[in-house]
């Protein structure tokens, strides 16, 4: 069975259940951990926790894998390359990606500075492969996808 990149994991649902328990305890209507798991599972469309646990992976999906060929744009410039590293951040929905480029990318936008060539890129992207950081014109620094 394959999972889409936005599929939650059992780890994610357990974290949601802990947060739900804490929120309910703060409002003077505490629930057990089991009840929190059941409610979170139903909120995600599953009949119960056992069904969700059987259907979901233990860990979150990653948009990219080490040694995978990728393509995309960086600062509006097209690139192709090889993923050297993927690091999941604490929120489990963003990844720091390091890419070795097939050909250097000129990241300079000024003709006065001349070319500024990058052989390797590092950026933080979401599950869709799009960085939250943006250029002054509102475009993401990086858009990356599997080849």
Percentage of the chain beyond pLDDT 70 is: 93
pLDDT > 70? residue 36: yes
Summarised one tens digit per residue, pLDDT across range 45-71 is 999 999 988 888 776 667 788 889 999
Longest dimension (CA), the chain: 64
* pLDDT, average across residues 115-142: 94
Summarised one tens digit per residue, pLDDT across range 66-81 is 889 999 999 999 999 9
- Is the full-model pTM beyond 0.75? no
* pLDDT, average across residues 26-44: 91
């Amino acid at each position: 069975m394959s999972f889409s990149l936005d599929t939650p994991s059992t780890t994610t649902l357990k974290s949601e259940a802990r947060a739900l328990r804490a929120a309910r305890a703060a409002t003077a209507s505490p629930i057990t951990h089991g009840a929190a798991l059941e409610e979170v599972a139903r909120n995600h469309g599953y009949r119960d926790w056992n069904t969700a646990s059987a259907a979901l992976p233990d860990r979150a999906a990653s948009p990219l894998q080490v040694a995978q060929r990728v393509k995309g744009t960086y600062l509006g410039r097209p690139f192709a390359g090889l993923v050297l590293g993927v690091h999941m951040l604490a929120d489990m929905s963003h990844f720091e990606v390091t890419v070795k480029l097939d050909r250097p990318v000129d990241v300079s936008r000024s003709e006065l500075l001349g070319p500024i060539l990058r052989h390797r890129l590092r950026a933080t992207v979401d599950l869709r492969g799009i960085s939250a950081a943006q250029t002054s014109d509102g475009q993401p620094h990086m858009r990356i996808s599997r080849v």
